[in-house]
Chain A
């Protein structure tokens, strides 16, 4: 089920009422409601893949208990490896199997050896597999490291794995933060309820108005690269920067807001990343739940920055390279990750002071946008073609044809609203605020207008969230 579908608008109130008004006396009953709701939410897309979530739940639940119970470190290790192999194996098979086979065939072909492609399989990528496998992996690893005690409450654990607001596109929660919330009483308060609704409204604005409007122009350009020149590629790339931000930050806000309706606190996933004055700062503001996951479970175990400098730089690079691969089974993502790694290495080598100021924000924005070209391009060759075109043939700015013209105008308008609001939050947070205004009528009126704008300017074509594919 998609957040931006009408199905969700019937689903959510039903679950809400069952949760707070029918099951309110028992945490266990509430968890069961959430568990069933989560399986329905996921099964709405394809019920067959529920078995993967169930299997993942079962294996990590057992592994968690066994790791904790065992006194013998080799037994602990065996159970940890079972969890790692199962989760990464599942991810590897569904997400990367064809990618590696195709890459191998391409490599052989480039060396002059023809290899038959009979190994390629018709594999459907289960939605959200990268998210929930990472979430459950962190559970086993934290228990192994002694940071967390396993829960013996199977229902609570199963709900933690499949919790529908963040199941398919994060934030990737840590067991240390989320599992205790499934084990304690959730209290309904007006404050969290209204805050949750506000986050959801803003999330829907980001998704339906900013991201989906920008997507029309971006797709028109990036999917027809032969027909466009440098200026159009620059415009499309900048719009893509806002598209992916609106899409993913929008999803995260809806997820966090929905969780609040049920009394849960999820971690913040985005902190106005385009106001970063360096790429390293960007990665503390963008997809925070993933960045910190890689930091804690890959970068630090590799030695982090507490090693010799060359090794430190290698750790940085490899972490970003793998992070790129996590995003998708395509070399474009690998290059995108690698490029970000290179940015960070250069910052380590040449920037001694913490950067600040508008100029640095501008430079960082350009660097990030340059990397987005690889992220969005359909192939590596497309990305290089686009870069070459930007550098050599500025040409004419495509403004769309027919209804496409208005699409880019809507996108520009929506982005302007977003930039004004985020600038105000970033630099003038104490100034006039609608969401925190002391007058209730101003707050209510402000959000009513925002919903009106979503319905008036939004795109309602059941568009998917980009991060679903990861």
Chain B
């Protein structure tokens, strides 16, 4: 009698799992289709970078990359096609993943990585925000598994389901379908300038631990560029205030790695052309469009040299 109940339960459970897998497969196709059909917004820009762009110059980094590098200016000064793959709020692990996926398809000539001085400090958000990569998992399993594996050891189990791969993406799709978000080859300008400002020194020194995963990611980012014969340049973006980074362990480590691997690092912290220039900044950490164009031109000319 009991055996009969087990058998019945097992059969029904099997049936249910089969139906669920069909539902997951069917609705998964629809949700993936919706996801990859986006034309504007943050996901559309990452799709463009991973799946479509053949740009000769690629820019990686957080909001400082996304808001400061004007592809049009780079194209004019370097005479090379450029795409800005910067992503707001994202950190090294994400940029590494993007680089790995892109070089699988195409080899750019130059990669610019905009460096945030705190890139190597532990950050929970850096792991949490890797979920933006989940929709790519089925197509780039080999590239993404080691990186997403740092977020969760059960990455294969979780991302087995199409529903989980596209978790929380539908509202973005609808939002940017209803209200498209314009960008210019991945760059989105900020407008307006700071009206009032008191000149201060921003101390970026922190008593915080470095995250070995982030250090390794930086090494891997460099190795991938070298292996694929891609010129890699590190740049730090200007800040409105003077920056005191003398004892910033993360930034010192980045500088040492750049030196060790012979990667040029163009440092715009405390750059006289930008520091305390209110008319060039949207907020103390981000340039406005005028500042971004000036900065882009400057960086492009330095790369040419």
**Residues of chain A at the chain B interface (Cβ within 8 Å):** 6, 20, 24, 187-190, 193-194, 402, 405-406, 409-410, 440-441, 444-445, 447-449, 451-453, 455-461
Contacts and interface: CB of A to CB of B under 8 A. Distances in A.
Interface residues of B, number: 31
Contact of B164 (A190, A448, A455, A461): A455
Contact of A457 (B15, B161, B167): B167
A342 B12 CA distance: 51
Given A440-B15, A448-B24, A455-B167, 9 more contacts: A6-B154, A194-B12, A444-B16, A448-B16, A448-B19, A449-B27, A455-B163, A456-B170, A461-B128
B2 A447 contact: no
B5 interface: yes
A447 B17 CA distance: 10
A449 B167 contact: no
A6 B19 contact: no
B157 A6 contact: yes
A6 B158 contact: yes
B105 interface: no
B9 A456 contact: no
Contact of B171 (A6, A406, A441, A459): A406
Interface of B: 2, 5-6, 8-9, 12, 15-16, 19-20, 22-24, 27, 31, 88, 128, 152, 154, 157-158, 161, 163-164, 166-168, 170-172, 175
A410 B154 CA distance: 26
A456 B163 CA distance: 5
Nearest to A193: B9
A410 B168 CA distance: 8
Contact of A406 (B9, B27, B88, B175): B175
Given A190-B8, A458-B167, A452 B27 contact: yes
A188 B157 contact: no
Given A187-B2, A193-B9, A448-B19, A409 B163 contact: no
Nearest to B128: A461
A456 B5 CA distance: 32
A190 B16 contact: no
A453 B164 CA distance: 9
B24 A452 contact: yes
Contacts of B20: 448, 451-452
B238 to A, nearest CB: 24
B175 A405 contact: yes
Contacts of B166: 456
A458 B163 CA distance: 10
B181 to A, nearest CB: 12
A190 B168 contact: no
Contacts of A409: 171, 175
B302 to A, nearest CB: 32
Given A445-B23, A452-B27, A460 B171 contact: no
Contacts of B16: 444, 447-448
Given A6-B152, A6-B154, A188 B2 contact: yes
Contacts of A187: 2
7 contacts: A187-B2, A190-B8, A444-B12, A452-B20, A452-B163, A455-B163, A460-B164
A282 B232 CA distance: 64
B9 A194 contact: yes
A187 B3 CA distance: 11
Nearest to A460: B167
